[in-house]
Structure 1
């Protein structure tokens, strides 16, 4: 995070889902787009929450400008986050744990398909 600077543009409270929805601007002149992990760590430090409660929805980079805008959801409870956030968002943000979660879901889905095929025969 040497040449990156972050700035919170907007914070919106979503009480129904128990989360805060943030827009964060990242300036990264002459550097690549900041990683999800860098943004998650910065947001968790700024808001004083655990990194496991912060989920990056999207990082959109402006071509040639050295600026990115990230949409972020910060949950009060990580269990609620796992219930609300789509599986692909969890996989992107959780790293190895997310990959294991995806594999587990794929395995269950294939098992259900096999059961349906057996019933049809």
Structure 2
């Protein structure tokens, strides 16, 4: 999976960096979590400030285009982003996972 940045702009008013990107892949379209992890590594960002808003496959080729945002702080992210977008990027841990973490 390769990520190519199409547009990178700073949105000072909302305290974030906005990215439009293209993902080239083989096989099925990568999951949002996989793309998010790659973007975190690519921009040396923290996990709690990067949101992948959309990821749409391109018909006929093994590519997808997406839109991501990197906020200046987790607090700013929670102020600006809609709840359903936050849930897509930060899903609540399942009860079994919570119990396993507490046991350790």
Work out the CA distance in 1 between the residues paired with 2:34 and 2:82: 21
Q: 1:9 aligns with which of 3, 6, 11?
A: 6
Where relative contact order (Cα < 8 A, 6+ residues apart) is larger, the structure is: 2
Deviations 1:42-67, CA, capped at 9 Å, x for gaps: 11111111011110111011112111
**How large is the Cα RMSD of the aligned pairs?**
1.4
Deviations 1:47-97, CA, capped at 9 Å, x for gaps: 111011110111011112111011001101011101100011001000115
Aligned length, in residue pairs: 94
Q: Which runs of 5+ in 1 are unaligned?
A: 100-121
Work out the CA distance in 2 between the residues paired with 1:43 and 1:66: 19
Q: 1:39 aligns with which of 35, 42, 47?
A: 35
Say which structure is richer in strand.
2
**SS state at 2:29 partner:** coil
Deviations 1:27-46, CA, capped at 9 Å, x for gaps: 113x1111111111111111
Work out the CA distance in 1 between the residues paired with 2:29 and 2:92: 21
How far is 1:26 from its partner? 0.4
Partner in structure 1 of residue 18 of structure 2? 21
| Runs of 4+ more than 3 Å apart | none
1:44-83 aligned within 5 A: 44-83=40-79
TM-score by length of 1: 0.73
Partner in structure 2 of residue 110 of structure 1? none
Q: Which entry has the higher C-alpha Rg, 1 or 2?
A: 1
Say which structure is richer in helix.
1
